[in-house]
Amino acid sequence: MPQGRRGAPRAVTIADVAREAGVSRATVSRAINDSDLVTAETKRTVQEAITRTGFVMNARGRALATGRAETVGVLITEPLDELFDDPTYGRMLRGVAEGLLGSGFLPVIIQASSESERALALRSFGRRSVDAVIHLTPYRGSDLLGSLAGAGLPVVLCGQLVDSPYEGIFSTVYSDDVRGARLAAQRVATAGRHQVAAVLGPADNPATGDRLRGYEEVLGARLDPARVVHTRWDSAGGLTTTARLLVAHPGIDAILAGSDRIALGALAALQAVGRRVPEDVAVVGFDDHAIAASASPPLTTIAQPLVEEGRIAAQLALEMINGADPRTEVLDMRLVPRLSA
């Protein structure tokens, strides 16, 4: 190993490998990156020199040699507690990790829920600290989208943006919320329910609007606008909102919940006033997280392919890193029938 000052060992460099192999540093760099400009014999010579010298390329050196950071930023603009509380993000992150597996690229979570965090993220993107960005929550902090478009990085949005000016700039992947909502509404309509309520997530989330649209297309007048309410995605919001609905509309015989967590809160509110599920009130959730199967009663719900969505987002990011044009993937949903409806 080369010696530094006072005989202390120093890190082996590309220059050391080049001297050992009898080639230039540029040739070593090309050989490491399997360039077609270097012959198989020279690549062998360089590899033997690497073995003899004990050279290990660090991340910074590889980035300089390849022009790539070998990381994909996973951008999240929801508050940090929502990231850990909502199983949706864990499943999507799992899909991203699976999609990048074996590619040589690592996912890096970038939290950007505050203005200062967003500014820091944008500075990081400007320095090309990542090779692409997968935006899990593009409906929050949408002012970031213009900055991302100007950054020149490949960007994949996990979600549909209505009337978006970024078609042809960003790739997108999302599940068909309208289709999923139709399936949920058909379930309660077929069961003969006539006084249906919808307890949805935040009104500013595009998925919420699509789900309401799907419910309305199937139910029509059965879904009175007075029985359509918005709350947080969590069970606490589902509990308090459903409790108020039951006071205002005691004849409700079905609840379409915007998420499984909202549905769990609805089940608790119904139990508190002695309403039986599904005999008195049918309940349909949305997501098919693990909590749906373990609910009491087990929750009929709409399954979103969240792991697949994350996996496809990673694949789209890799395609764009390698020069492919942006494109859109729309995934289907399915009804998972259980005992609540």
Tokens of 132: 């692409």
Give the per-residue pLDDT at 140.
Answer: 66
Q: Is 74 exposed, middle or buried (CB count within 10 Å of its CB: 0-12, 13-18, 19+)?
A: buried
Tokens of 31: 């050989």
Strands 132-135 and 71-76: parallel
- Mean residue pLDDT across the chain: 89
Least confident among 3-7, 205-209, 273-277: 3-7
**SS3 state of residue 211:** helix
pLDDT at 248 over 80: yes
Least confident among 16-25, 53-62, 210-219, 285-294: 53-62
Q: Which residue has the higher pLDDT, 283 or 221?
A: 283
**SS3 state of residue 253:** coil
Helix then strand then coil, % of the chain, to nearest 5 = 50, 15, 35
Tokens of 129: 């600290």
pLDDT at 218 over 70: yes
Give the per-residue pLDDT at 70.
Answer: 86
Give the per-residue pLDDT at 180.
Answer: 97
Q: Which of 64-68, 101-105, 218-222 has the highest mean pLDDT?
A: 218-222
Q: Which residue has the higher pLDDT, 3 or 25?
A: 25
Q: Which residue has the higher pLDDT, 140 or 221?
A: 221
Give the per-residue pLDDT at 63.
Answer: 53
Least confident among 30-39, 115-124, 304-313: 30-39
Span 64-78, pLDDT tens digits = 555 567 899 999 988
The arithmetic mean of pLDDT across residues 214-226, rounded, is: 95
Give the per-residue pLDDT at 28.
Answer: 83
Q: What is the 3-state secondary structure (H, E, C) of 140-204?
A: CCCHHHHHHHHHCCCEEEECCCCCCCCECCEEEEEECHHHHHHHHHHHHHHCCCCCEEEEECCCC
Span 250-303, pLDDT tens digits = 999 999 999 999 999 999 999 999 999 999 999 999 999 999 999 999 999 999
Strands 334-336 and 301-303: antiparallel
Least confident among 46-50, 52-56, 314-318, 334-338: 52-56
Q: Which residue has the higher pLDDT, 104 or 227?
A: 227
Give the per-residue pLDDT at 162.
Answer: 66
Give the per-residue pLDDT at 245.
Answer: 97
Residues in the chain: 341
**SS3 state of residue 59:** helix
Give the per-residue pLDDT at 99.
Answer: 95
pLDDT at 4 over 60: no
**Which letter, b or e, does each residue of 298-332 get, where b requires 16 or more Cβ atoms within 10 Å of its Cβ?**
ebbbbbbbbbbbbbbbbbbbbbbbeeeebeebebe
Give the per-residue pLDDT at 13.
Answer: 80
Pair 193, 222: CB distance under 8 Å: yes
Name the percent of the chain lying above pLDDT 90: 62
The arithmetic mean of pLDDT across residues 143-167, rounded, is: 82
What residues have CB less than 8 Å from 276, skipping those under 6 apart?
270
Least confident among 6-20, 21-35, 95-109, 225-239: 6-20
pLDDT at 93 over 90: yes
- Extract the runs of DSSP E, i.e. beta strands, from the chain: 71-76, 106-111, 132-135, 155-158, 171-175, 196-200, 228-230, 254-257, 282-284, 301-303, 328-331, 334-336
Pair 252, 282: CB distance under 8 Å: no
Tell me the pLDDT band of 202, cut-offs 50, 70 and 90: very high
Least confident among 111-120, 185-194, 232-241, 308-317: 111-120
Give the per-residue pLDDT at 254.
Answer: 97
